[in-house]
A and B are shown apart, each in its own frame.
Chain A
Amino acid sequence: MIRVVIAELRKLRRPTLLLGTIATVGGLSALFTSIIFLMIDSENGNSERGERVGPEELSQAMGLVYGFRLVGVFLGIVSLCIFASQTAQEYSLGTLRNLLVRQPSRMKILAGKFISMKIFALVMVLFAGALSILISFALAGRANVDTSAWTTSAAMELLFKSTLNIFIATLCFGTFGMILGLVLRSPISAIAVGVLWNLILENILAALIKSTGKWLPGTNFSNLGEGGNPDLTYRHSLAVSLGYLIIGGAISAVLFKRRDVAN
């Protein structure tokens, strides 16, 4: 399986994908973090849904990861797109047959792909986190934010937890994308369905039928990235997310193993 991981990483590190992802993730991270500090005095707010986060709040340990946490859900969407396209393109390009001739164990191919994309997602999260923190430090002075609490052990613990949570959320979104890629076998369809579902349909559904909100996959994946909240606990989101991913993963793995490779 290590051979599959190495081969997959060679595909993932191609300049168009790697640089494109770094540019996207870097851009998002820079944008969200900058808005918090540069629009700190804006009456329209500087955070989610027009909320205002002031210097006092940002001067606490949490201020270190505020921007990073905001960008978390978008990292999930980027990850969904990458996992979906990397999986589905093997069908659309016809390259799956080459892979299976060189590595007949379909489960090893699937596991190797998953592990390599996990590594890619980890690099993506770490890069976004590092950039967000750098920008936070760079803009803190301008926004009159005291950064002394950002170097305490509490801040480091928060940073570690936030990184881990965002990574878990990113993996959940990515796995969701991979399942769509395996089922739909078309990168465009898989990405379109995944993005539409998570960014639009879930919100409409949750608005129409309030009780569905806590059971929807995207809502729970995002909640994992945010570390949970009083209305939707981390434990609940973890259980729901695992449920979706285990069932979806099992169905797609069976399809991948048994389905004829006829294109």
Chain B
Amino acid sequence: MEKVAISASDLTKIYGERAALSHGNFVVPEGSICGFVGPNGSGKTTTIRMLLGLIAPSGGTATVLGESISHPEKYLPRVGAMIEGPAFYPALSGRENLKVLAELGGFPLSRVDQLLAKVDLADRGGSKFKTYSLGMKQRLGIAAALLPNPKLLILDEPTNGLDPSGIQEVRGIIRDLADSGTTVFVSSHILSELEMICEYLVMLREGKVIFSGRTQELLSGQKPIIVAKPEYDVDLTNLAKKLTDSGFNLSISDGSLHIEAAQEASATINRMAFEAGITLASISVVLPTLEETFFEMTGDSK
């Protein structure tokens, strides 16, 4: 049986009449990279805060690294976290900010400079936090989360404000940590990023867990799309009518037909086009991306 880093059972948080999280059940296997996705206000940050002992659940239970969330002191020394963006003292330098947290957690101060180098802030460590760009602030937040050399790393939107190379660096850091056995629980709005690195996913919608499991399991459960592109654009509507009349569900986008059908239907579609005197420039089968799956499952519109 797989060991779990995080396990939530009926975890619930109610604010007044509104359930920020309702009976959340999910597990995050140890050593995995698990994405945490959901539209704004779906309960992601509330869940993360409950896991870190910052807010008390209204119901249900959860364990982190085998310990109940009612005793955060038992597991937090092994947990690194960045919640809702980096929050530091503006008048202190990046280095001093990390030293405050290192002293508080009882970690060696020598780790501070190592981590500043790791997140590419070594030469700006002495500058005041308030002078940092958003990307630098984000990188300092990641460095702070890495202070305890964590067994579990919880990151809330770690790539916010980062440029493409910064995003790639964060992805590299996350992969390195996972390779060394650290469990990473990461929320992000950049779903293509999560799709690239996450083996597991927890998906929320309106305070409810709508999926928890392997990313592959989620994506393979979705209907594939056959993308057919006629040689001439004038044939697009003609072919679309023929396929619709034959019972296919489709949409037209970027000069191509996007047909919801199993891979085996490709031959039928190709034949129907040929019989109608339409030459297809290309025909391919694509699985929906995580982003498309997310929008379909959450009912959110792009």
B92/A11 in contact, CB under 8 A:
yes
Contact of B53 among A11, A14, A104 (CB under 8 A): A104
A44 at the interface (CB under 8 A from B): no
Of B99-107, B250-258, B267-275, B280-288, the stretch lying at the interface with chain A is B99-107
B84 at the interface (CB under 8 A from A): yes
B73/A261 in contact, CB under 8 A:
no
Bound CA span A17–B83, Å: 27
A7/B73 in contact, CB under 8 A:
no
A93 at the interface (CB under 8 A from B): yes
Bound CA span A99–B148, Å: 13
The distance from the CB of A117 to the nearest CB of chain B, in whole angstroms, is 15
A49 at the interface (CB under 8 A from B): no
Given A102-B101, A104-B53, does the pair A16, B76 have CB atoms closer than 8 Å? no
A233 at the interface (CB under 8 A from B): no
A93/B73 in contact, CB under 8 A:
no
Residues facing B in A76-117 (CB within 8 A) are 89, 93-95, 97-105
The distance from the CB of B123 to the nearest CB of chain A, in whole angstroms, is 21
B90 at the interface (CB under 8 A from A): yes
Bound CA span A89–B53, Å: 20
A7/B100 in contact, CB under 8 A:
yes
Q: Residues 238-263 of chain A: 1 if any B CB is under 8 Å from the residue's CB, otherwise 0? A: 00000000000000000000101110
B92/A14 in contact, CB under 8 A:
yes
B87 to chain A: closest residue by CB: A94
**Using Cβ atoms and an 8 Å threshold, which residues of chain A touch B148?**
102
Bound CA span A262–B87, Å: 13
Most buried by A among B53, B81, B89: B89
Bound CA span A106–B79, Å: 17
The distance from the CB of A188 to the nearest CB of chain B, in whole angstroms, is 15
A95/B89 in contact, CB under 8 A:
yes
**Using Cβ atoms and an 8 Å threshold, which residues of chain A touch B147?**
102
**Using Cβ atoms and an 8 Å threshold, which residues of chain B touch A65?**
none
A260/B76 in contact, CB under 8 A:
no
Contact of A95 among B76, B79, B87 (CB under 8 A): B87
**Using Cβ atoms and an 8 Å threshold, which residues of chain B touch A105?**
73
Contact of B100 among A11, A16, A262 (CB under 8 A): A11
Given A14-B96, A98-B101, A260-B54, does the pair A104, B73 have CB atoms closer than 8 Å? yes
**Using Cβ atoms and an 8 Å threshold, which residues of chain B touch A97?**
49, 52, 54, 83-84, 87
**Using Cβ atoms and an 8 Å threshold, which residues of chain B touch A101?**
52, 54, 76, 79, 81, 83
A4 at the interface (CB under 8 A from B): yes
Given A102-B104, A261-B55, does the pair A14, B73 have CB atoms closer than 8 Å? no
A93/B101 in contact, CB under 8 A:
no
Contact of B104 among A4, A14, A17, A260 (CB under 8 A): A4
Contact of B103 among A6, A17, A258, A262 (CB under 8 A): A6
B55/A14 in contact, CB under 8 A:
no
A3/B101 in contact, CB under 8 A:
no
Most buried by B among A3, A10, A11, A93: A10
**Using Cβ atoms and an 8 Å threshold, which residues of chain A touch B99?**
10
B53 to chain A: closest residue by CB: A104
The distance from the CB of A125 to the nearest CB of chain B, in whole angstroms, is 24
A selection of 12 A-B contacts at a CB cut-off of 8 Å is: A3-B104, A14-B89, A14-B91, A95-B87, A95-B89, A97-B87, A100-B53, A101-B54, A102-B101, A104-B73, A104-B76, A262-B55
Across the A-B interface, give the 6 residue pairs with the lowest CB-CB distance, nearest first.
A94-B87, A260-B55, A102-B105, A7-B103, A261-B54, A7-B104
Question: Which B residues are closer than 8 A to A by beta carbons?
Answer: 49, 52-56, 72-73, 76, 79, 81, 83-85, 87-92, 96, 99-101, 103-106, 144, 147-148
Question: Which A residues are closer than 8 A to B by beta carbons?
Answer: 3-4, 6-7, 10-11, 14, 16-17, 89, 93-95, 97-105, 258, 260-262
